[in-house]
């Protein structure tokens, strides 16, 4: 079980995340929503062990992850929001690097790389440098790198970015499969539609604070909205979107 307890993170005195609490059990998919700058990426950095909380704790199976960070990181698979990769490596080389860093044995790693690249339809491009890949193709490589070592916790930060509809649908099915397999899935995204369909629970963040934490159905009922998008708009969007659109249209005429 993954548990965030009063997790707070300051950047130079400015709070990015404040007193965030949640628990994700094996088999659950936690949808983590929030507008830009609400603290989603900071939470992800802390969950992946890249950043320590200023205050509070993150526990996995009852143990503070900071106590043995390397062991914890070995259990996590992570797809970052931005496709940070070594673009001079080929897809196969990148996956091999990721697998070796995870300590996978050579034979098993070869088989997994072959299978992942074939299934993700990247086989023909396996020797091409990642610099030549489209955003969607890089995203697939990152997804493969995150799953290569059969992680117990899967942290996905906008994983659907750049994927086509077919790949998107496959991703949803994959997340359901990961959840059925007893893995913990943390899904941070702007995409309400996907979150609505796959998340067993949703957390909505605003200005670093949790403003909603419940199942999609309960949130819809509580806020009397028909969709998660409307719930999100009601709880987290501060701007007058119609007014903004009007102003943008006006600006075109300046």
* Interface ranges with other proteins (CB under 8 A): 11-12, 14, 45, 48-51, 60-63, 65, 68, 70-76, 78, 80, 82, 84-89, 93, 96-98, 100-104, 129, 131, 152
Nearer to other proteins, 14 or 254 (CB): 14
CB of 224 to other proteins, least distance (A): 37
CB of 194 to other proteins, least distance (A): 22
Instruction: Report, in angstroms and rounded to the nearest whole number, the Rg of the chain calculated over CA atoms.
Output: 19
CB of 28 to other proteins, least distance (A): 16
Q: Running DSSP on this structure, what letter comes out for residue 39?
A: S
CB of 40 to other proteins, least distance (A): 15
Nearer to other proteins, 116 or 232 (CB): 116
CB of 243 to other proteins, least distance (A): 23
Nearer to other proteins, 74 or 235 (CB): 74
Nearer to other proteins, 83 or 202 (CB): 83
Q: Running DSSP on this structure, what letter comes out for residue 129?
A: B
Nearer to other proteins, 208 or 219 (CB): 208
Q: Which residues contact 195 (CB under 8 A, 6 or more apart)?
A: 31, 33, 187, 189, 202, 216, 228
Separation CA 182–CA 200 (nearest Å): 13
DSSP lists the bridge partners of residue 188 as 32, 157
Q: Which residues contact 125 (CB under 8 A, 6 or more apart)?
A: 91, 132, 133, 137
Separation CA 57–CA 215 (nearest Å): 24
Question: How many Cβ atoms are within 10 Å of 146's Cβ, its own excluded?
Answer: 19
CB of 41 to other proteins, least distance (A): 11
- In terms of Cβ atoms closer than 10 Å to its own Cβ (0-12, 13-18, 19+), residue 211 is middle
Of 32, 49, 50, 51, the residue nearest 40 (C-alpha): 32
Question: How many Cβ atoms are within 10 Å of 242's Cβ, its own excluded?
Answer: 8
CB 147 within 8 A of CB 154: yes
Nearer to other proteins, 20 or 202 (CB): 20
């Amino acid at each position: 079980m993954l548990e965030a307890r009063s997790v707070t993170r300051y950047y130079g005195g400015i709070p990015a995340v404040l007193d965030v609490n949640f628990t994700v059990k094996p088999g659950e998919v936690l949808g983590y929503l929030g507008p830009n700058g609400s603290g989603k990426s900071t939470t992800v950095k802390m969950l992946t062990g890249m950043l320590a909380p200023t205050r509070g704790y993150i526990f996995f199976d009852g143990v503070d992850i900071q106590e043995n960070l390397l062991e914890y990181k070995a259990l996590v698979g992570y797809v970052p929001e931005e496709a940070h990769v070594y673009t001079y490596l080929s897809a196969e080389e990148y996956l091999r690097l990721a697998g070796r860093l995870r300590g996978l044995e050579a034979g098993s790693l070869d088989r997994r790389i072959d299978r992942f690249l074939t299934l993700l339809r990247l086989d023909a491009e396996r020797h091409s440098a990642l610099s030549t890949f489209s955003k969607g193709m890089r995203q697939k490589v990152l997804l493969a790198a995150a799953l290569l070592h059969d992680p117990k916790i899967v942290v996905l930060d906008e994983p659907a970015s750049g994927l086509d509809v077919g790949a998107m649908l496959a991703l949803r099915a994959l997340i359901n499969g990961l959840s059925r397999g007893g893995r913990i899935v943390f899904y941070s995204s702007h995409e309400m539609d996907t979150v609505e369909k796959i998340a067993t629970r949703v957390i909505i963040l605003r200005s670093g604070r949790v403003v909603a934490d419940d199942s999609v159905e309960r949130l819809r009922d509580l806020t009397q909205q028909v969709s998660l998008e409307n719930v999100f708009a009601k709880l987290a969007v501060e701007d007058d979107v119609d007014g903004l659109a009007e102003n943008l249209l006006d600006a075109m005429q300046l």
